[in-house]
Amino acid sequence: MISKKVEAALNEQIRIEAESSQVYLAMASWAEVQPGIDNVTAFFYQHSEEERQHMLKLVHFVNERGGVAKIPKLPEPQSTFPSIKSAFTSLLEHEIFVSQSINNCIDIALEEKDYATHNFLQWYVAEQIEEEALARTMNDKLELIGDDKSGMYMFDRDILTISMAPGTKPVV
Ligand code: OFO
């Protein structure tokens, strides 16, 4: 059984995971109408889908542990980006924010001596380490590429492979 405090923290995390899914869906839709970045588009769609799975995992956990999961209302996400680099910078910043929010949930679980929730959240800790690392790799590569069109061509060609490299996680 989870306490009201843990329930509230996990419901806030449900909102954040749902928002992440929306934010990346908006990036995917924006990317889809930009020329020549089909794999970047696929990456954002897959990432959005993953975030939805993260949300669902929390919904089931809260309900199974005697709480009530809340399905949140979401604000409209940013729908246009000045560049591919700026979309990936937002992605990295967003992942850092999500990691902090997971840490906050863990602090509350420990305060409440809720070791089951603490254990459950370790999956999210590992996930965030991988996602932050992946987002940093993407940003570093885009920094190097700058305005070079052939570099961008290769970035799009390789993005799905990069996202499955050792030390990062598969995006499918
Ligand atoms: Fe939910 O994994 Fe990142 O944000």
What is the pLDDT at residue 65? 98
Of all residues in the chain, the percent with pLDDT exceeding 70 is 95
Residue with tokens 């020329």: 35
Helix (H) or strand (E) holding 151, with range, is helix 149-162
| Nearest residue to 24 via CA among 122, 163, 150, 148 | 163
For the beta carbon of residue 148, count every other beta carbon within 10 angstroms: 11
The answer to whether the CB of 47 is under 6 A from ligand 1 is no
Q: Give whole-number Cα distances, 52 to 27, 71, 101, 113, in Å.
A: 15, 12, 17, 28
What is the pLDDT at residue 160? 84
Name the residue with the closest Cα to ligand 1, atom 1. Answer: 51
Predicted TM-score (pTM) of the model is 0.93
Q: In angstroms, what is the span from residue 131 Cα to ligand 1's centroid?
A: 7
What is the pLDDT at residue 162? 77
d(CA 98, CA 13): 8
Beta carbons within 8 Å of 161's beta carbon, 6+ residues apart:
none
pLDDT digits (tens, 9 = 90+) for 117-166: 999 999 999 999 999 999 999 999 999 999 999 999 999 999 988 776 55
d(CA 109, CA 95): 21
- If one residue of 23, 48, 128, 129 were mutated to test the ligand 1 pocket, choosing by the most ligand atoms within 8 A of its CB, it would be 128
What is the pLDDT at residue 166? 52
Q: Is 140 helix (H, G, I), strand (E, B) or coil?
A: helix
Q: In angstroms, what is the span from residue 37 Cα to ligand 1's centroid?
A: 23
The answer to whether the CB of 101 is under 6 A from ligand 1 is no
Q: Is the pLDDT of residue 57 over 50?
A: yes
Q: What is the mean pLDDT of residues 46-51?
A: 97
What is the pLDDT at residue 171? 46
d(CA 148, CA 58): 41
Q: In angstroms, what is the span from residue 35 Cα to ligand 1's centroid?
A: 27
- If one residue of 10, 20, 97, 169 were mutated to test the ligand 1 pocket, choosing by the most ligand atoms within 8 A of its CB, it would be 20
Q: In angstroms, what is the span from residue 102 Cα to ligand 1's centroid?
A: 9
Q: Is the pLDDT of residue 170 over 50?
A: no
CB-based burial label for 145 (10 Å; 0-12, 13-18, 19+): middle
The residue with greater pLDDT, 163 or 74, is 74
d(CA 129, CA 118): 17
Single-letter code of the amino acid located at 106: I
Q: Is the pLDDT of residue 172 over 80?
A: no
φ/ψ of residue 170, rounded to 5: -65, 140
Q: In angstroms, what is the span from residue 55 Cα to ligand 1's centroid?
A: 9
pLDDT digits (tens, 9 = 90+) for 19-30: 999 999 999 999
Of all residues in the chain, the percent with pLDDT exceeding 90 is 92
The answer to whether the CB of 20 is under 6 A from ligand 1 is yes
d(CA 56, CA 79): 24
| Nearest residue to 120 via CA among 34, 170, 59, 58 | 58
The CATH code of the domain at 4-161 is 1.20.1260.10
